[in-house]
Structure 1
């Protein structure tokens, strides 16, 4: 446990002091108490936002720490979502079996990421071409599932339904004291919040471990890292599979939340969103990515109530501002500024994480 705590507070992540963790605990307490003062519909809606934050954390690991610009997060999101639907519908899943179906969907997405990542990484596809191939994969999957409207496009009793999307899968259920808790509304919110907390802390420990240090070295100079004796491709493939699996987890949870998964979840607008969230927030820090993505999603959803077109225009405008003014990300820049303010006078700039 001391080693884990030391890694959680390592140099590859901002916010390692007493003030940060006190604020973190306060925000967590507010999050835990939120369902007690909010409408159940709003609580379920916040759970929806937290689900997509998991996908952003996976992209932060790949792009921000390993330097792999992946445009394919929604591909794994969709693969896991459809897989959860197929497995759960055919098994007539209920109780703990729904959680096993979720794990099965994530495992299929991880296997797909392993196969795709192997050919990309060991084929030495990098830079913008890595993004192009992952983006093409996403669009190909969206086009494929969009044309599966006929009755022949089914696995067992689970039909793909073309552009209308797959329906009929059960929500997640959790056995508890001889009863079954359907993970909807507040129950789903607490489940996703616990998952997000565990994954966030686990990723902090991971990026501050030897594995994470090597990823950052690869991001900065892959050739030098390879000359130092590290198997660069093995580390890149591992980061790609972990980040893609988080997108898959997000897709499986989304499908169980809405009991629906459409091909549009892998289309061009959907594929661009994770890039905007992570770029605007700050791709090289997990905390900036998590906080920035959640707030950006909240703002996007609020604006979408009035006009989806204006919301998409705003997202594009924010990405343009980020590229032109703050390439490191707005929330990461704010975090670094706050860290510098908390330093004693005379501390060197290099001391700032």
Structure 2
């Protein structure tokens, strides 16, 4: 009973409520609104990937957008060259694996080479800028992989959606598909961060040298969690490519790399639920402003980040979770009673 009560907190209640809302949402809205929310969900994976490696692993990275692009471009090239709609799930799985493999190779050379902290951010930033610059220069007819032209700055168009057998996932079916994928990934990550591997990652984040002295192979753990983050970012890129039917270099560029950093930091980078919720809020807010003719979403987001750093460094959503725990679950009182009991 005590363990059950400990699990009843603001984060879990809101997380469950959010997924219930997402599952019934298509019953009350238009197909256009469903399409928009499908896009929001596809971008949540990108923020979760950064929250995992930065919030739990302590690895600050600007490279998630690059892995996003790797997944999206690989899926497009693989499926369009095959020309077989039923092979798209294989393209999805291979794209995720390729993104994770690329991230793992980069992580191997960084972490086993003793590179950490701000230098990881600089290296991944250079990788993202280099990838965007290169892909933007591939407009000529000579830039083809198989029969698929890379398209330069215009990118690749006509990317097929995911098909399960002869059943193509489109509109509401695609929405429920990526929502179920999000639910599985979210639960998997929540279990992962409380596993032995997750606790080791947190130990490395808090004190890398002490963890190494305790006998843990720190570079191996860092490489593995970086690869997992790359796989998640690639999944986001694939779902984005299938959602819109296109993939462009700008989607994997510098601006795209900066956005998940800001979203994770403002929402609460050490909390997966907070990062997910803040991503939904941002994209909804951004699209609402765009529909009204304003393009100030990034400016407002930047101002919000400054306020977060100054007043709530743990993140806006995380702070609200703690406030909810204190108000509705007597968490603060329970903590005080426990502390007093230990003292006496």
Equivalence for 2:37 = 46
Query: Could you tell me how far 1:155 is from its partner in structure 2?
Result: 0.4
- Counterparts of 1:63 and 1:351, CA distance in 2: 31
Query: Could you tell me how far 1:307 is from its partner in structure 2?
Result: 4.6
**Corresponding residue SS for 1:348:** helix
- Counterparts of 2:338 and 2:264, CA distance in 1: 25
Query: Could you tell me how far 1:340 is from its partner in structure 2?
Result: 2.6
Task: Provide the alpha-carbon RMSD of the alignment.
Answer: 2.1
Mark the runs of 5 or more structure 2 residues left unpaired by the alignment: 340-344
Normalising by structure 1, what TM-score?
A: 0.90
Normalising by structure 2, what TM-score?
A: 0.92
Counterpart pick for 2:334 among 330, 336, 347:
347
Query: Could you tell me how far 1:23 is from its partner in structure 2?
Result: 4.8
- Counterparts of 2:122 and 2:201, CA distance in 1: 22
Q: 1:116 to 1:23 in 2, by over 3 A?
A: closer
Note the 1:1-353 alignment, pairs <5 A: 16-17=7-8, 21=12, 23-95=14-86, 97-175=87-165, 180-307=166-293, 309-341=295-327, 342-343=329-330, 346-348=333-335
Q: 1:129 to 1:162 in 2, by over 3 A?
A: same
Of 310-319 and 73-82, more deviation after overlay is shown by 310-319
Of 322-331 and 232-241, more deviation after overlay is shown by 322-331
Asked whether the equivalents of residues 44 and 184 of structure 1 are also in contact (C-alpha less than 8 Å), the reply is: no
How many residues of Structure 1 are paired with residues of Structure 2 in the alignment? Answer: 336
Mark the runs of 5 or more structure 1 residues left unpaired by the alignment: 1-5, 10-14
Query: Could you tell me how far 1:308 is from its partner in structure 2?
Result: 6.1
Query: Could you tell me how far 1:167 is from its partner in structure 2?
Result: 1.2
